[in-house]
């Protein structure tokens, strides 16, 4: 099978490209420098030239706060660019896997969001990603929503906590936002399983199971560091105002995996423990 991965130098794209190479899959890993997704002609040429069976779109504008004042620029990458990519895939017989986010929801739920729940984003980033979802779904293929990503190839919450643990006696972390920390290594493997199983097209939620708050996540990171988790102190979002509103509840349900005959991803704590040596080896910490 021939794979094309966009955004291949990002956190998820790098892990996915590495996994595919390790499994001796034929993969073209393209960075933003290699392919400007906002250029429809370049997108069509890349799909025509590379002749992929599968395209995984990991490229995105992910600066959530900056999107509030640069929504059009974010929309050009997260929304407008997805249509021509999906059209190119459909024209050349490639399956598209488009990555999205829990931020397409408003965060007011009390139980995990189902895959078919109506979207209602509360910030510019979420609106742009919802637009990308609509464009991808018009042409079939998969939309995989994820959340709270960490990995060995980019800035993320784990790296931030490790840095703060080294320089501060105590760290205040919000305890009123709930979600699912998700390791890019697990997500990459789940994407490969999804495609190989030839699962029905549609929306899947690619997050590790369970739920916690940023405070709970931080305490687990401190434990793995060998630091006292009580150095992490709970606070609330009002004490850390940000330009973009964050959903208070971003927990995603995983029923679509079972309907496709696939197991959902494992608990976030087990994933973090397994990821830890790889993060250290990659000098992430």
Residue numbers annotated as active site? 125
Q: Which of 81, 67, 74 is nearest to 6 (CA)?
A: 81
C-beta of residue 183 within 8 angstroms of C-beta of residue 269: no
Q: 208 — phi, psi (to 5°)?
A: -65, 150
Query: Hey, which residues does 5 pair with through a beta bridge?
Result: 29, 56
Whole-number Å distance between alpha carbons of 144 and 125: 16
> How far is it, in rounded angstroms, from Cα 202 to Cα 270?
28
CA distance 270 to 210: 10
Exposure of 182 in the CB half-sphere (CA atoms within 13 A): 30
Surface-to-core class of residue 180, CB atoms within 10 Å of its CB (0-12 exposed, 13-18 middle, 19+ buried): buried
Tell me which H or E stretch contains 144: strand 142-146
Contact 226, 165 (CB under 8 A): no
| Residues constituting the chain | 285
């Amino acid at each position: 099978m021939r794979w094309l991965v966009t955004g291949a130098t990002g956190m998820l794209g790098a892990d996915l490209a590495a996994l595919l190479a390790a499994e001796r899959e034929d993969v073209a890993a393209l960075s933003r420098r290699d392919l400007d997704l906002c250029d429809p002609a370049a997108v069509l040429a890349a799909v025509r030239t590379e002749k992929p069976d599968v395209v995984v779109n990991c490229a995105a504008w992910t600066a959530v706060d900056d999107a509030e004042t640069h929504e059009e620029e974010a929309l050009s990458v997260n929304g407008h660019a997805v249509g021509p990519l999906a059209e190119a895939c459909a024209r050349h017989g490639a399956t598209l896997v488009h990555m999205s986010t829990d931020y397409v929801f408003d965060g007011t739920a009390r139980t995990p969001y189902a895959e078919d729940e109506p979207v209602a984003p509360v910030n510019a980033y979420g609106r742009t990603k919802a637009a990308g979802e609509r464009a991808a779904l018009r042409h079939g293929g998969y939309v995989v929503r994820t959340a709270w990503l960490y990995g060995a190839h980019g800035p993320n919450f784990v790296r931030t906590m490790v840095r703060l643990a080294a320089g501060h006696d105590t760290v205040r972390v919000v305890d009123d936002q709930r979600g699912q920390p998700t390791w890019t290594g697990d997500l990459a493997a789940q994407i490969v399983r999804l495609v190989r199983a030839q699962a029905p097209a549609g929306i899947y939620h690619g997050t590790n199971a369970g739920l916690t708050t940023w405070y709970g996540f931080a305490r687990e990171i401190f434990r793995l560091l060998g630091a006292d988790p009580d150095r992490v102190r709970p606070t609330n979002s009002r004490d850390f105002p940000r330009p973009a509103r964050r959903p208070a509840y971003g927990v995603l349900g995983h029923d679509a995996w079972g309907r496709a005959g696939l197991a959902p991803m494992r608990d976030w704590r087990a994933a973090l423990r397994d990821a830890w040596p790889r993060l250290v080896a990659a000098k992430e910490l």
